[in-house]
C-alpha cells in the first residue's frame, strides 16, 4: 500500500514539475522577448519582477518533485556505515525533521497570503501586481510540499514498523547510495 501511494505521489509530482517547467519556459521566452525589444529601444517592462515571481513559485512547487526523486541534499557519513535497520532509522528521522521544517514554513506562509488578501496589497513596482496573485500559488506550493513530506514520512514510518527497511530506502534513502546498491 505504501509503495503504491509513493508511486501515485511521484506521478502527481511529475505532472506538477511539467507545469512548473512550462511556466519557467514561458517566463524565459518573456524575458528573451524583452531583451530583444531593448535592442530596438523599447521594452515590455516588469520582466525582473515577473521572473522573480516565477522563481518563487517554481521553488515552492518544485520541492515536492525533488523530494520524491531523492534530490534534496543529505549528509550521510554515518548512514553509509550502518546496517539497513539503522539506515532506515536515519532516513525516517531525516524525513520527520524535514516534514517539521516544511510544515512550519507552510504555517508561517499563511499570514503573508492572509495579509495580501486582507489589505488588497500590490507590489511596490510600476506593474503594481496584486500580491494575492503571487502569494496564493506560492502558499499552495508550500502547502503541497508539507502534505507530500508528511505522507512520505508516514509511509516510511509504516514500512519501518513492518521491518521493510529496503523498501524505505527506495524512496527516502540517499541518492548516491541508490546508485551503488543497483
Q: Does position 58 have pLDDT exceeding 90, yes or no?
A: yes
* Residue carrying the nine cell digits 543529505: 74
CA distances from 106 to 58, 143, 154, 159 (A): 15, 5, 18, 26
- Domain locations in the chain? 2-181
pTM for this entry: 0.85
pLDDT score at 3: 87
Q: Does position 136 have pLDDT exceeding 80, yes or no?
A: yes
Burial class (CB within 10 angstroms; exposed 0-12, middle 13-18, buried 19+) of 106: buried
Query: What nine digits make up the cell of 118?
Result: 486582507
pLDDT score at 46: 86
122: β partners? 130
pLDDT score at 87: 87
pLDDT score at 182: 46
Mean pLDDT of the chain: 89
Amino acid at each position: 500500500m505504501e509503495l503504491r501511494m509513493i508511486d501515485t505521489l511521484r506521478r502527481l509530482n511529475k505532472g506538477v514539475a511539467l507545469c512548473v517547467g512550462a511556466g519557467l519556459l514561458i517566463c524565459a521566452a518573456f524575458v528573451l522577448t524583452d531583451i530583444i525589444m531593448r535592442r530596438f529601444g523599447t521594452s515590455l517592462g516588469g520582466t525582473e519582477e515577473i521572473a522573480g515571481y516565477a522563481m518563487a513559485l517554481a521553488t515552492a512547487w518544485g520541492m515536492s518533485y525533488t523530494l520524491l526523486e531523492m534530490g534534496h541534499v543529505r549528509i550521510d557519513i554515518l548512514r553509509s556505515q550502518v546496517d539497513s535497520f539503522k539506515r532506515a532509522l536515519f532516513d525516517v528521522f531525516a524525513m520527520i525533521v524535514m516534514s517539521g521544517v516544511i510544515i512550519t514554513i507552510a504555517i508561517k506562509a499563511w499570514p503573508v497570503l492572509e495579509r495580501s488578501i486582507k489589505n488588497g496589497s500590490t507590489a511596490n513596482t510600476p506593474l503594481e501586481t496584486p500580491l494575492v496573485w503571487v502569494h496564493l500559488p506560492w502558499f499552495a506550493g508550500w502547502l503541497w510540499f508539507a502534505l507530500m513530506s508528511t505522507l512520505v514520512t508516514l509511509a516510511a514510518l509504516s514500512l519501518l514498523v513492518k521491518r521493510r527497511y529496503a523498501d524505505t530506502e527506495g524512496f527516502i534513502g540517499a541518492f548516491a547510495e541508490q546508485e551503488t546498491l543497483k
